[in-house]
Amino acid sequence: MRRAGGETVGTMSLCLDDPSVGLPADENFRDKLDALRTEGRRLCEPSRLAIDKHVSKRVFASLIHISYIYAHNIHGYTDYVIEVNPRHVMFYKRMLGFSDFGGERHCGRVQAPAVLLRLELSYMGEQIDKHGGLMEQRGGVRSFYPFFFSRDDEPGITTRLMQGRD
């Protein structure tokens, strides 16, 4: 994501589950992810999230909302799964509604503990419906959802994503 001046202020990768490749979290939590796959869940994994600490909450919310539109609305994925360091667990639970899913395990990629979290994208959609676009008028809601786009903005964003435009 770039500011108007062209400076990069945030980035994120979205890994879409593929039977031949899997997801990065399979390295440590394949058993848990396979259980979801058996239930018919379609998984994707946001990863490599980096946001300049000097930008607004809106940048983070925009990245997450755009990934939701791409994963859920365009491609029909049902769940986000993420591996996070235990010290970040409460942030993702409180601010986006993730829940514990796999306990804590050692992650060899980063040589640190990791916790698997899950978020059903239908829940995210409900929160966007309730709070998206409210910004500072969020009425005491302590989450990032008020900083998401409103549902009225989604069709235009979806069209631009499908056409490969900014």
Structure tokens at 157: 């964003």
CA-derived radius of gyration, the chain: 16
The rounded distance, in Å, linking the Cα atoms of 114 and 71 is 23
Helix extents (H) in the chain: 26-38, 57-68, 89-96, 121-131, 154-163
- Going residue by residue through the chain, which has 166 residues, state the pLDDT in tens, using 9 for 90 and above: 545 466 777 778 999 999 899 999 999 999 999 999 999 999 999 988 777 777 777 888 888 999 999 999 999 999 999 999 999 999 999 999 999 998 899 988 888 999 999 999 999 999 999 999 888 675 667 788 999 999 899 889 888 988 886 5
Half-sphere exposure of 79 (CA within 13 A, CB side): 23
Residue 148 in contact with residue 133, Cβ under 8 Å?
yes
pTM of the predicted model over 0.75? yes
Give the strand pairing for 79-84 and 99-107: unpaired
Half-sphere exposure of 148 (CA within 13 A, CB side): 27
3-state SS record for 148-163: CCCHHHHHHHHHHHHH
Q: How far is CA 153 from CA 63, 65, 70, 145, 150, in A?
A: 14, 11, 14, 14, 5
Exposed (0-12), middle (13-18) or buried (19+): which is 40, by Cβ within 10 Å?
Answer: exposed
User: Going from the N-terminus, what domains does the chain have, and what CATH number goes with each?
Assistant: 10-163 (3.40.630.30)
